[in-house]
Amino acid sequence: MGRSDGRRAVAGKADLDALRKAIGALEATGSRFAPPARLRAPEREEAACRQLWRQRGAGEADDPLARFRARPGLHEVKPAAYLDGPLAFVFAALWLAGLGGDRPILWVRGAGDPRLDFGGPCPDGLAARGIDPARLVAVAPGKPADALWAMEEGVKAGAHVLGEAGANPACDLTATKRLHQAALSRGGTLVLLRAHDVCGTSAALTRWSVAPVPSAPAGWKGAGGLPAPGDLRLRAVLERQRGGAPEEFELDFIHDPFRRAQPVSLADRPAPLQRRREAG
């Protein structure tokens, strides 16, 4: 038993040393970062994806989350129920994708919390939602306290952070104050993923609860006469915000990979004269 514990301790120290080196490299480069080319998302995927939040009943140009996303600091997201966990990850990723810029994104995995155990970051999925995987730095600390430390150091280094806190008891009011102040010091954003059953005080600017709602059917039907799947739709409840009252949003995420821009010479042109004659 002693040897096994020793091996785990050595592995944990090695992970922390690697994280310190990575964060040190980020600090050395200042506010701009050069992402590794080997992870860069294909440009064709980025160009093909047309995506934005649209509040139900509003125009496509409306982004109801823009006024919240524009505030740097700590924001909390939690699923409304355990099985809504993957949707909370999507909401957090889309929040960071909407920030723009080229800051790296430090993804701090949960330290063995089963409430958020829905797998790791998927490069293709992130690229489809507007995040270049080349910007991603993923770390998996072995202890809850180390995860909080990694989040704090990440925002201090100038990165945006997506941190899996789950039901970490160490993530209390004092810890969230530290995280919020660290994010403000560099004008960054830290999106903290909490467990569905967590309650308590926090220094976060906003706290969101996310749940799915039925999507509207697509406007076209397949060969079997069934409607195509609609856009992703969710209900985001703003349970708490500093300086404001709670709010509720029903949002569509517009992402249609079947829509492609056509060359001008092919778009909406009349049929060739010869074909019109044959048809006549």
**What is the third-level CATH fold of 43-216+232-258?**
Rossmann fold (3.40.50)
pLDDT given for residue 80 in this prediction: 95
Q: How confident is the model at residue 55 (pLDDT cuts 50, 70, 90)?
A: low
Residue type at 23 in one-letter notation = I
The separation between CA 5 and the C-alpha centre of its own chain, rounded to angstroms, equals 34
pLDDT given for residue 82 in this prediction: 92
Predicted confidence (pLDDT) per residue in 150-191, tens digit: 999 999 999 999 999 988 888 999 999 999 999 999 999 999
Predicted confidence (pLDDT) per residue in 42-53, tens digit: 343 333 333 455
Interatomic CA distance for residues 99 and 66, integer angstroms: 9
* Positive or negative: CA dihedral 203, 206, 209, 211: negative
pLDDT given for residue 280 in this prediction: 54
Q: Where are the domains of the chain?
A: 43-216+232-258
Q: pTM to 2 decimals?
A: 0.71
pLDDT given for residue 58 in this prediction: 52
Predicted confidence (pLDDT) per residue in 86-117, tens digit: 999 989 988 998 887 888 999 998 876 777 88
Interatomic CA distance for residues 273 and 276, integer angstroms: 5
Interatomic CA distance for residues 141 and 112, integer angstroms: 9
Interatomic CA distance for residues 132 and 147, integer angstroms: 23
